[in-house]
Structure 1
Amino acid sequence: MLQRAQVRITRHLEAELLVAHDLPLASYDVLMQLAEAPERRLRMNDLADRVLLSRSGLTRLIDRLQRDGLVAREACADDARGLFAVLTERGEARLAEATPTYLRGIRTQFLDMLGPDEIGEVRSMLAKLDITGAP
């Protein structure tokens, strides 16, 4: 049941973001994670953990986002092999445009279907499961 709800909500969010902003949900997630990170950047390994993608999957996604000017790569000063993904101003603007669509989708597909007590219960359950989006 939980999986079906997750798939339904994810499909709806994906469709809405693609139609309104030509932005897949995974791309939105990457931009959001970078926007919330200190200095708007994360090491690629840390970003992969946060967005639940394989390293190779994230690399391909970052390649596309970089081609679109939404993300840049920067070398890591203390690790010659390490790379940072960095949110660009264009990426920040695209995220700002897409966020109302994303939040509206979360509200209509999830929050509006629950009462205030149920939302509190869900928050409590997620806290117990430590589903916070943090690595």
Structure 2
Amino acid sequence: MQATEKDVTWLSEEEQRHWRALVTAITLLNRRLNADMLAAHDLSVDDYAILAMLSEAPDDRLRFGELAGVLRVPKAHVTYRFRRLESRGLVQREACETDARGAYAVLTPEGRRRIEEAAPSHVESVRALVLDHLTPEQLRCVGEAMRAIVDADCAETPDRY
């Protein structure tokens, strides 16, 4: 259902200011984190996220649907990125013994080495771009606000991926 102009509750000046700051910050952070990761490790932020999630999973493996769910991206996005990482020897696909249609995304030893090598500089970028500019209270508020948005999305679309 398309809302008509008279049905819209327009943003106040303050809401508009905060909304635009949020959008600008997300764009800026994504670009800067991506540029830092590419320059230092020849990995995109999306590549890093896949490797990081696999490195934290039991036995360094997740089903593709689970990986997409954790990353909150479409399964096709994971598949595309996975193929690029696979061609570089950082991940591999393994058949699921209990489900012939399913497969696991698995971190290789080289993938483990690369994520462990990249993690310190990623943390340095996160600190330099975000944490160093926020007080502990601001960080707590931002974290709670972002968690509320993620929780609302998860509640509205639990089977999204």
TM norm structure 1: 0.90
Listed as ranges, the gaps of 5+ residues in structure 2 are 1-20
Structure 1 counterpart SS, 2:123 = helix
Which of the two has higher C-alpha Rg?
A: 2
Among 83, 108, 116, which residue is 2:128 paired with? 108
Secondary structure of the structure 2 residue equivalent to 1:27:
helix
Q: Which residue of 116, 127, 147 corresponds with 1:96?
A: 116
Identity of counterpart residues, as a percentage? 38
Q: Could you report, residue by residue, the CA deviation over 1:16-54 in whole angstroms, capped at 9, with x for unpaired residues?
A: 110111101100000001011111100001111222332
The counterpart of 2:62, out of the listed 32, 38, 42, is 42
Q: Please tell me whether residue 19 in structure 1 is matched to residue 39 in structure 2.
A: yes
**Ranges of 4+ aligned residues in structure 1 off by more than 3 Å:** 126-131
**Count of matched residue pairs:** 133
Give yes or no for contact 1:26–1:51 (8 Å, CA) kept in 2: no
Bigger RCO of structures 1 and 2 (CA < 8 A, at least 6 apart): 1
**Pairwise CA distance, 1:83:** 0.4
Task: Indicate whether 1:70 and 2:90 are aligned.
Answer: yes
1:85 aligns with 105
- For residues 91 and 46 of structure 1, the distance between their equivalents in structure 2, rounded to whole angstroms, comes to 19
Tell me which amino acid in the other structure corresponds to 1:94: R
Q: Distance in 2 between matches of 1:58 and 1:127?
A: 23
Counterpart CA distance in 2 for 1:13 and 1:38 is: 27
